[in-house]
Structures are given as structure tokens and as C-alpha cells.
């Protein structure tokens, strides 16, 4: 194994699923610009997620379209001329 290739600055970070407001704390080295006060009263860096295990169809068993940035509409617009009229 190669030595000294893994980061050493792990810290507690809050990850928040924006589709259902589920949050959890985990150790990470990710850089963030926002902070949040957690249930224990301490302030932690915040990472906003579009999807997590509480909202992903594989884990929930429910099919749900998550389109937070209009990606489906962008795709339909981009390929409209190639495949004819975009379906709704």
C-alpha cells in the first residue's frame, strides 16, 4: 500500500438531504462554505445533498422524480430536434 495518500483532516460534518430535510452527521474531509447548529448545540459544516438513502428509489421502493435543477427539461430541449416533439 502507498503511504501518505489519504487525507488526515477528518472532522464531523452534517449532511442534509434537501428533498426531505433528513440530516445526519458523519466524518468527512469535504470543504464547505455553510455551517449549521446540530441537535447537540454545536456548530458543524453543512453539505447539502439532492438525494440520500432516505429519498433514493432503490432504498425506499418508491419511484419519485427528483429534478432539482430542471435537468429533464434541459435534456428534452437539447434533443427535441433529434427525436421529434418532446413528450411530457
pLDDT in tens, 42-72: 999 999 988 777 776 655 666 655 555 666 7
Integer Cα distance of 88 and 72 in angstroms: 10
Provide mean pLDDT across the span 11-39.
92
- pLDDT > 70? residue 87: no
Angle at Cα 18 formed by Cα 17 and Cα 19, nearest 5°? 95
Lowest mean pLDDT among 3-12, 25-34, 73-82: 73-82
Question: Could you tell me the pTM of the whole model?
Answer: 0.61
pLDDT at residue 41 in the model = 94
Share of the chain above pLDDT 90, in %: 38
Amino acid at each position: 500500500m502507498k503511504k501518505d495518500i489519504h487525507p488526515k483532516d477528518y472532522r464531523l460534518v452534517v449532511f442534509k438531504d434537501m428533498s426531505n430535510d433528513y440530516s445526519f452527521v458523519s466524518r468527512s474531509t469535504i470543504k464547505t462554505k455553510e455551517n449549521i447548529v446540530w441537535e447537540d448545540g454545536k456548530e458543524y459544516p453543512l453539505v447539502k445533498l439532492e438525494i440520500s438513502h432516505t429519498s433514493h428509489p432503490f432504498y425506499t421502493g418508491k419511484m419519485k422524480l427528483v429534478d432539482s435543477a430542471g435537468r429533464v427539461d434541459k435534456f428534452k430541449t437539447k434533443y427535441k430536434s433529434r427525436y421529434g416533439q418532446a413528450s411530457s
